[in-house]
Structures are given as C-alpha cells and as structure tokens.
C-alpha cells in the first residue's frame, strides 16, 4: 500500500469542501487564532491558493493551523492513510469503573488516559479492581489497582482475572499446555504456589490485566 495515496493539496481541497470554507474564511479565522495566540502566524489567501494548486507544501506550523481550522487530523491532511478524525492518535481521558470483584458492584470511578488509535485501550472495554492480596507482588500489591480488559478470547501466557470452579476472583498468569492442562502462576510463588491439575473448563476468565497502578508504593 502506498504510504501517501493523496497529496496535501487534494486533502486540503477535500477538507475545505467538507467544512464549507473558502480561502478568505480560512484567512479570517487564522487571523483570529493568531490574535488569540493559538497559532504562530495567520495564513494569507495567496498562500492558501498556492497550497490548493500544489505549488508548495505547507510548513508544520501551517499544517497545524489548517488542521485546527478545518477540524481534521494533521497526518491525514498531509496525505497519509489515517482517519480524518482530529482525535485520532491523541491521548484522551475517560472514566472507568472500579468494581468489587466479589460482588461486581461499582465502588468508584477513576480517570483513564488512552490513545484513540489503539482499540485495545477503548475505555468501553475496560474496568478496574483493587488487589486484595499480594499474590502478584511486587507488580501488584494489596491496594493497587489492576486495569482489566473484558474477556474476549484466550491468549496463552497472559495474566487474567479469573475464578476457579465458581470460587472467588484471583489474578494469575494462565499457562495452557498442548494437552489442554492449565497452570495458574502467581508472581509471589513463595506464598502462592503454582496451581496445577486444572483444565480450561475448570476456570472462568473475567478479563485480562493490561495495566496496574501501584498505589501501595505510596502508602
């Protein structure tokens, strides 16, 4: 696939048509943004005309200014094969639920920073729990927060929140052998020995641990 299937001038024309903006309107808006110290310099109509005719490529400050005015992604405006959405690739903050792993009740909400271009970090697919033991210490100690992605499909050697035969929720690394046997490994193996003699149907996976917040270190 061609990395630059479109030119800057083609994308600029498309965005201007989509937003129903003329060169004169872009110049006016750019002056207002410059006066508000939001861009480095205004973009004059002759420059916009040169861009539309493909005479020049815009500088990075002007790419930013045009993308801001047209509400499009800068990388898209440059011609690359990414979504037009201005939020693509940027870090956003949303709230995710901390639940009581035993009752499944929401006990708190916490802010979660995520990249909009990484589907695995979609906050709609996430929840969190407080660790109630030190089985995964030092990575996850009592009082730390584990960010959990809702379970979709099993991937060997990943760390999951799970139950054994309808027991209480625990966090373990799950290792599945070729014959279907399951091992559940804790990091703190001295106090939490590896559990063996299990099969996949013996466990219920609730979600994958994708991130931790080590609050216990600051107690």
User: pLDDT by residue (tens digit) across 112-127?
Assistant: 888 877 777 789 999 9
Mean pLDDT, to the nearest integer, of 8-16?
96
Residue with the bigger pLDDT between 165 and 4: it is 165
Cα–Cα distance list, 212 to 104, 118, 133, 138, 198 (Å): 19, 18, 14, 11, 27
Q: Look at residue 24 in the predicted model and tell me its pLDDT.
A: 96
Q: Look at residue 133 in the predicted model and tell me its pLDDT.
A: 95
CATH architecture designation of domain 8-77: Orthogonal Bundle (1.10)
DSSP state of 191: T
Mean pLDDT, to the nearest integer, of 145-157?
93
Domain positions in the chain are 8-77, 91-210
Q: Is the pTM of this model over 0.85?
A: no
70: its two tokens: 């047209």
pLDDT higher than 80, residue 1: no
101-110: long-range contacts at Cβ-Cβ below 8 A with a sequence spacing of 24 or more? 101/129, 101/132, 101/161, 101/168, 101/169, 101/206, 102/168, 102/169, 110/145
User: pLDDT by residue (tens digit) across 160-218?
Assistant: 999 998 899 999 999 999 888 999 999 999 999 999 999 999 999 999 999 998 765 44
CATH 2.10.109.10 fits 91-210, yes or no: yes
Mean pLDDT, to the nearest integer, of 27-36?
95
């Amino acid at each position: 696939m061609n990395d630059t299937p479109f030119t800057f001038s083609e994308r600029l024309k498309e965005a201007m048509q989509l937003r129903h903006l003329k060169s004169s309107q872009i110049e006016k808006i750019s002056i207002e943004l410059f006066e508000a110290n939001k861009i480095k310099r205004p973009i004059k109509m002759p420059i916009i005309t040169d861009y539309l005719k493909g005479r020049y490529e815009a500088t990075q400050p002007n790419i930013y200014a045009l993308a801001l005015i047209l509400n499009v992604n800068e990388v898209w405006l440059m011609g690359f094969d990414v979504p037009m959405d201005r939020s693509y690739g940027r870090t956003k903050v949303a709230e995710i639920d901390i639940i009581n792993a035993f009752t499944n009740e929401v006990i708190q909400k916490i802010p979660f920073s995520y990249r909009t271009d990484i589907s695995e970090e979609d906050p709609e697919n996430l929840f969190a729990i407080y660790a109630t033991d030190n089985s995964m210490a030092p990575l996850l100690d009592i009082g730390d927060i584990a960010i959990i992605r809702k379970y979709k499909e099993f991937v060997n050697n990943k760390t999951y929140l799970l139950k054994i035969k309808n027991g209480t929720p625990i966090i373990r690394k799950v290792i599945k052998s070729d014959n279907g046997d399951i091992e559940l490994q804790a990091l703190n193996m001295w106090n939490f020995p590896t559990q063996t003699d299990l099969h996949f149907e013996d466990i219920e996976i609730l979600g994958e641990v994708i991130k931790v917040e080590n609050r216990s270190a600051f107690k």
